[in-house]
Amino acid sequence: MTDSGDKKQLLHLVFGGELESLDDVQFRDLNGLDIVGIFPDYATALTAWKAKAQQTVDNAHMRYFIVHMHRLLDPQEKARGN
């Protein structure tokens, strides 16, 4: 079931966690990762990312990321530069 209408669904995952150091993306606790959610487009994912990043601004080791899942699901799309 989809509510995308004419708009193409471009899934994005927002997640984060506490890093071991500020020099690398190595999480302290993989079991403690915060999976914020999967969103239907980049704009919605960015809004969620900003909200979580703002909530954790006092912890320099806490980082949130946006993963372009649609690029992983359709490798040809990545090759076309979308």
Burial of 12 (0-12, 13-18, 19+ CB in 10 A): buried
The whole-model pTM stands at 0.79
Task: Kindly state the helix (H) or strand (E) to which residue 39 belongs, with its residue range.
Answer: strand 34-39
**Phi/psi class of residue 34: alpha, beta or left (left: φ > 0; alpha: ψ in -120 to 50)?**
beta
* Predicted confidence (pLDDT) per residue in 12-64, tens digit: 999 999 999 989 999 999 999 999 999 999 999 999 999 999 999 999 999 99
pLDDT band at 6 (very low <50, low <70, confident <90, very high): low
Alpha-carbon distance of 22 to 40, in angstroms, equals 30
Paired residues of 34 in beta bridges: 16
pLDDT score recorded for residue 72: 87
pLDDT score recorded for residue 8: 79
Q: Which amino acid is at 78?
A: K
